[in-house]
Structure 1
Amino acid sequence: TQFFKTSLNGIDLSNSNIDQIAVSLEDIKGAKINQMQAIDLMYLLGVKVVE
């Protein structure tokens, strides 16, 4: 699913399947997500989680 140039600010995505979502950092800012989704969206920040 693509959400380019669509603000998701205030939208609760925590119970949604966001696998393979295409979104920019600016567009997802302010959205509500769960912990597992946060891991999936880490690429937007350009960081990697290590153990």
Structure 2
Amino acid sequence: MSKLAVQNEVNHHQLAIIPVKGLDFKRQFCMTYHKNKYITPVMEQFMALCRRFDD
């Protein structure tokens, strides 16, 4: 489960994050867009934000 999805509950001590040695969960996300369509400045900012989270 994503830390971001449960961050509020963790902050309010309703859930706890327990690290488990040897387990490293990763997910892959893909970004798709039409190559012939205009990319708005807002779209470009969102794409840049997503790229910052790329490991």
TM-score category (smaller protein)? under 0.3
TM-score by length of 2: 0.24
Which structure has the greater CA radius of gyration? 2
TM-score by length of 1: 0.25
More helix by share: 2
